[in-house]
């Protein structure tokens, strides 16, 4: 391992909200991965005000695991926590993630090796290890909406190949300083969906990158905490709302015009097909339009350099 990395410590942070059963299932693998790390690695749970018995379970069965209590802001809860740490590199996990025993070192090594790294993401599989979930993310614009996808045509041929990635959702290691310089996860997407693509896009626009590191392996339950809380319709509504917010906040030039041109078509189709989730998502997105406009001003979205970097992002990660 790089001597610079070896002289530092890291930490695994697990975001939890009412996930007692998931903690019981996942923490043993995380503790073992932390123990096997070449870098001193602590394991902590960031609890978002759980009302189940998560905290009692941790106190009784994992007294060595630190509990950090934060108001529930979804992934944006990590922002405040990272602001109080001094580790350069930190792993951020959902509570429905397991790690292979040797998962930590490749991620930390990648962050140390690449001078422009914002985050490093493992190869992610379903809990049973049978289906590839991804983390080498590609993007496309479909009928005016931007989508991030991992299981794209031909993905089987490059699962084991390191590369850049547009985003990483349930598990990633971040350069804490660069993460905070970007503002971390945007709370506008609370309670969740798409904020990982937003982070990756903003990082690209700022000149830092996400790296896919298949030498590191993770396992994800997939909607293990999200769908039970919001249901399928609620999850679809949030996905629609946040995909719209991503476009309104970040896109400029022809891409924004294309999005706006397709929007009446999508709304009309949703009315005819009785796709209530998209219509509700659109209504919720409109209620967040003011902070979106403010964010566009702060990011200086729309100038020529922004448009050039935006197109470079979509060209690099298209499929």
Query: pLDDT tens for residues 236-294?
Result: 999 999 999 999 999 999 999 999 999 999 999 999 999 999 999 999 999 999 999 99
Q: Over 60: is that where the pLDDT of 25 sits?
A: yes
Q: Packing angle between helix 276-287 and helix 253-272, nearest 10 degrees?
A: 130
Cβ neighbours for 7, distance < 8 A, ≥ 6 positions apart: none
Do strands 209-220 and 117-126 pair parallel, antiparallel, or not at all (unpaired)? parallel
Say whether both 56 and 188 belong to one domain.
yes
Residue with tokens 């319709």: 233
Q: Please give the average per-residue pLDDT across 115-135, as a whole number.
A: 96
Range of the domain at 282: 231-317
Say whether both 206 and 239 belong to one domain.
no
* Domain end residue (candidates: 172, 205, 226): 226
pLDDT on residue 231? 85
* Domain end residue (candidates: 210, 226, 242): 226
Residues 6 and 180: their CA atoms lie apart, in Å, by 23
Residues 240 and 56: their CA atoms lie apart, in Å, by 36
Do strands 209-220 and 97-99 pair parallel, antiparallel, or not at all (unpaired)? antiparallel
pLDDT on residue 226? 64
Q: Over 70: is that where the pLDDT of 223 sits?
A: no
Say whether both 28 and 113 belong to one domain.
yes
Say whether both 237 and 222 belong to one domain.
no
Instruction: Please count the structural domains in the chain.
Output: 2
Say whether both 273 and 203 belong to one domain.
no
Encoding tokens for residue 190? 């609370």
pLDDT on residue 224? 57
Q: Over 80: is that where the pLDDT of 3 sits?
A: no
pLDDT on residue 304? 86
Give the DSSP H/E element, type plus range, for residue 90. Answer: strand 89-94
Encoding tokens for residue 155? 């993905």
Say whether both 257 and 135 belong to one domain.
no
Q: Kindly report the backbone phi and psi dihedral angles of residue 303, in degrees, each rounded to the nearest multiple of 5, phi listed first.
A: -70, 165
pLDDT on residue 302? 82
Radius of gyration of the chain (CA): 19
Say whether both 84 and 222 belong to one domain.
yes
Instruction: Tell me the per-residue pLDDT of 64-117, one tens digit each, with 9 for 90 and over.
Output: 999 999 999 999 999 999 999 999 999 999 999 999 999 999 999 999 999 999
Say whether both 167 and 303 belong to one domain.
no
- Find the CATH number of the domain harbouring 156: 3.90.550.10
Mean pLDDT of the chain: 94
Pairs from 22-26 (Cβ < 8 Å, separation ≥ 24): 22/95, 22/96, 22/221, 22/224, 22/225, 23/54, 23/57, 23/58, 23/62, 23/95, 24/57, 24/61, 25/98, 26/95, 26/96, 26/97, 26/98
Say whether both 139 and 50 belong to one domain.
yes
Instruction: Tell me the per-residue pLDDT of 133-148, one tens digit each, with 9 for 90 and over.
Output: 999 999 999 999 999 9
* Domain end residue (candidates: 226, 253, 283): 226
Q: Over 50: is that where the pLDDT of 6 sits?
A: no
Say whether both 199 and 244 belong to one domain.
no
pLDDT on residue 4? 42
């Amino acid at each position: 391992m790089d001597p610079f990395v070896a002289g530092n410590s890291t930490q695994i942070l697990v975001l939890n909200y009412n996930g007692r059963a998931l903690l019981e299932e996942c923490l043993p693998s995380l503790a073992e991965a932390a123990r096997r790390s070449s870098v001193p690695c602590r394991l902590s749970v960031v609890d978002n005000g759980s009302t189940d018995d998560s905290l009692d379970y941790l106190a009784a069965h994992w007294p060595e695991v630190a509990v950090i209590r934060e108001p529930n802001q979804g992934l944006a809860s990590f922002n405040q926590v990272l602001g109080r740490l001094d580790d350069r590199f930190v792993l951020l996990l959902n509570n429905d993630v397991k790690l292979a025993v040797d998962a930590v070192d490749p991620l930390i090594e990648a962050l140390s090796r690449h001078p422009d790294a914002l985050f490093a993401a493992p190869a992610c599989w379903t809990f049973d290890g049978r289906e590839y979930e991804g983390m080498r993310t590609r993007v496309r614009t479909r009928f005016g909406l931007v989508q991030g996808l991992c299981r794209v045509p031909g993905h089987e041929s490059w699962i084991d190949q390191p590369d850049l990635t547009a985003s990483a959702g349930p598990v990633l290691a971040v350069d804490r300083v660069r993460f905070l310089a970007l503002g971390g996860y945007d709370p506008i997407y609370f309670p969740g969906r798409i904020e990982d693509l937003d982070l990756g896009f903003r990082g690209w626009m700022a000149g830092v990158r996400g790296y896919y590191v298949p030498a590191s392996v993770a396992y994800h339950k997939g909607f293990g905490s999200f769908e039970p809380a919001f249901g399928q319709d609620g999850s679809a509504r949030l996905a629609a709302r946040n995909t719209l917010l991503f476009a309104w906040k970040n896109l400029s030039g022809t891409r924004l015009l294309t999005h706006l041109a397709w929007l009446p078509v999508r709304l009309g189709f949703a009315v005819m097909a009785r796709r209530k989730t998209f219509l509700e998502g659109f209504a919720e997105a409109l209620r967040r339009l003011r902070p979106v406009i403010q964010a566009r001003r702060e990011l200086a979205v729309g100038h020529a350099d922004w448009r050039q970097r935006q197109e470079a992002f979509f060209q690099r990660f298209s499929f």
